Amino acid sequence: MHLHTILAALASASLTTALPSANTPPRSKPVKTQDIINALAGTYTLVNTSSTLNNVPVPDAAYGEAPVGILTYSKSGYMSATIVATEPAFRPNLTFPYQENDSDADWALIGKHSLGYAGPFSVNEALPANKTGGQLFHGPLVVANVPTWVGTQQKRNYTVIKEGRDTLLRIGSERGGGIGVLWWKRVD
């Protein structure tokens, strides 16, 4: 099966499919939390995103049509995520630090179409989990470009899929009353 076939088949799957079910048979050998963290540790590049509301696909307004991003997990239990839209309409030509003549509207546009956060991460041990599926907590977040996220824990359901030499990471989360699914490809 090719990467595009897998992504097409799973992109519209609901968040519950990424979550281990209460009906999941018990594992014969418990997996240590640190083994899961070690298995996820690495750097991933964003492949695509999708959003659904009531199982109906909706535009991913926050990230646009062709977002880029990097997700990193460390073996010591820290993570960082950055995602930005790439459309010129969402990316005014600004520099950092801001210049006095920059418009607040241009900076607000960038803020509406980007997300960055970092902090510790952990495995939700209340649910079944292993090296290929379960639920993570990103946080309590230390930094976030969304101020209300600082100090919060963000739930992320994960599924790891091997496709030939590639390792794909499916991250599912609740988003604005719907479901967001992000596909990442491991680059190291």
- Look at residues 81, 57, 93 and name the one whose alpha carbon lies nearest to residue 143: 81
Q: What pTM was estimated for this model as a whole?
A: 0.84
23 domain-assigned: no
Quote the domain boundaries for residue 157. 3-8+29-186
Residue 102: inside a domain, yes or no? yes
| pLDDT of res. 72 | 98
- Residue 14 domain flag: no
- For 53-75, what is the mean pLDDT? 93
Domain presence at residue 136:
yes
As a whole number, mean pLDDT of residues 76-94 equals 96
Comparing 110-114, 137-141, 172-176, 182-186, the range with the smallest average pLDDT is 172-176
User: What's the pLDDT at 175?
Assistant: 83
Residue 11 confidence (pLDDT): 43
Residue 176 lies in a domain: yes
* Residue 13 located in a structural domain: no
Domain count, the chain: 1
Percent of the chain with pLDDT over 90: 76
Lowest mean pLDDT among 58-62, 127-131, 132-136: 58-62
Examine residue 151 and state whether it is found in any structural domain, yes or no.
Answer: yes
Residues 149-159, mean pLDDT to the nearest whole number: 98
Confidence at residue 59, expressed as pLDDT on a 0 to 100 scale: 86
Which whole number is the average pLDDT over 133-161?
A: 98
CATH of the domain at 151: 2.40.128
Residue 171 lies in a domain: yes
Cα angle: 45, vertex 46, 49; to 5 degrees: 170
Q: What is the DSSP string of 3-49?
A: HHHHHHHHHT--HHHHSPPTTSPPPSSPPPHHHHHHHH-EEEEEEEE
Average pLDDT, the chain: 87
Kindly tell me the number of DSSP H helices and DSSP E strands found in the chain.
Answer: 4, 10
